Amino acid sequence: MSWSRRALLGMPLLPLLAGCGFHPMYGEEEAEAVDPELASVTVLPIADRLGQQLRFMLREQLNPDTLDVTPRYLLQVSLNAQRIDLGLQRDATSVRGRIDLSASMHLSRADNHKEIFQWSAISSADFTILSDAYAAQVAEDDARVRTIRDVSRQIRLRLSAFLERQKRRAG
């Protein structure tokens, strides 16, 4: 049987793949509906360059359509980043590195500043230390961005779950 006939026989099975959570690896994802409760979270300034990047990512994830909503919550995040050299050679040079990023998150109400939720997130990313200084710096910067992206996703998921629980209790 030729490949074209096999493909035609498999076509009726494609709708079943959609029901099992299958999605194309490189395809465009549908945008999620913006949750007004998440959009009402104001991310306070975070110290250092990593903090600025995390704050930007959080703002994009919590309110991607930049809805104009009244701030109901304040999110304060503090970061601690550490670079660790791994894979030491005999001449005491390192060939691998790791970035460890930990974030401490505190959510409070905007009206009375009363803390209602706290949580911490941790992420690590490895990188190769190359002999070219520029390439090594780019690899390290990329590892930092990966940890920030991971921490921002963890924070968004945790906030979403917490606010959903709060909604269920209230209603």
Contact between 136 and 159 (Cβ < 8 Å):
no
Segments forming the whole domain that contains residue 164: 35-170
1 part of a folded domain: no
75 part of a folded domain: yes
Predicted TM-score (pTM) of the model is 0.75
Contact between 40 and 72 (Cβ < 8 Å):
yes
Residue 24 has pLDDT above 90, yes or no: no
As a whole number of angstroms, the distance between CA 143 and CA 97 comes to 9
CB half-sphere exposure, 137, CA atoms < 13 A: 3
The Cβ of residue 55 has, within 10 Å, a number of other Cβ atoms equal to 19
13 part of a folded domain: no
28 part of a folded domain: no
Residue 10 has pLDDT above 80, yes or no: no
Q: What is the CATH number of the domain that holds 131?
A: 3.30.160.150
As a whole number of angstroms, the distance between CA 105 and CA 25 comes to 32
Residue 20 has pLDDT above 70, yes or no: no
The CA–CA distances, whole Å, from 23 to 6, 13, 14, 150 equal 21, 14, 11, 21
Residue 154 has pLDDT above 90, yes or no: yes
Q: What is the pLDDT of residue 86?
A: 85
Residue 93 has pLDDT above 80, yes or no: no
The number of distinct structural domains making up the chain is 1
Q: What is the mean pLDDT of residues 64-92?
A: 87
